[in-house]
Amino acid sequence: MDEADYRQHRDDAYRLVYARLRDRAASEDVVQDSFLRVLRYRGGAIGSLGALVRTIAINLIRDQARSKNRRAEDALRDDFEIASDASSPEEVLLHRERVRMIAKIVDDMPPLRRDVFLRRRLHGESARHVAAALSISPAAVDAHVARAILTLHKAMAEIERIEDAA
């Protein structure tokens, strides 16, 4: 999948998701997650990228609905245990190392891409707001976010490959 494929299918996927969720931020997240899953797809040849993205998006919406229902049911139960959020020292160190690696990858991105990515994903700004602040189009914002995620995905896959080999 390349940028042209992303641009071609992004708007259709967004309209489909927004029609179901009626929430712009949630719809954008589902569309981005759908494209991430397409990038991770290890199956055979993709007959229709648009159909695959739409199918993934619909499945993500269903998963979210199921998750919300489960959380509501869990909240009603009287006999629950409180799980410990304490992590082992090893888990803390591994987490810190991952954060350091991700920070390095983000720092190495071109400045505009890094700025767009951090505004959208870290600070939760809307694509329209980021576009206006940086004098670029909302489509350019989406393209920068997609490229940043692709960069992160590839770099982390390479790191995991190296770790698995060691």
**In the chain, domain spans:** 1-80, 89-156
pLDDT at 67 over 80: no
pLDDT band, residue 129 (cuts 50/70/90): very high
Q: List the CATH code of the domain at 1-80.
A: 1.10.1740
CATH number of this structure's domain 89-156: 1.10.10.10
Cα(49)–Cα(8) distance, integer angstroms: 10
Q: What is the dihedral of CA 7, 13, 14, 15, to 10 degrees?
A: 120
DSSP 8-state code for residue 22:
-
Q: Looking up tokens 């990228």, which residue turns up?
A: 49
The pLDDT-based confidence of 78 (bands split at 50, 70, 90) is very low
pLDDT of residue 1: 62
- At 56 the pLDDT is 86
Q: Is 32 within 8 Å of 9 (Cβ atoms)?
A: no
| Length in residues, the chain | 166
Give the whole-angstrom CA distance, residue 149 versus residue 18: 21
Please give the model's pTM, rounded to 2 decimal places.
Answer: 0.48
- What pLDDT is attached to residue 71? 66
Q: How many CB atoms lie within 10 A of CB 70?
A: 10
Q: From CA 147, how far away is CA 121, in angstroms rounded?
A: 13
State the average pLDDT over residues 40-57.
79
Measured over the CA atoms of residue 60, residue 55, residue 40 and residue 147, the dihedral's sign is: negative
Strand residue runs (E) in 106-162: none
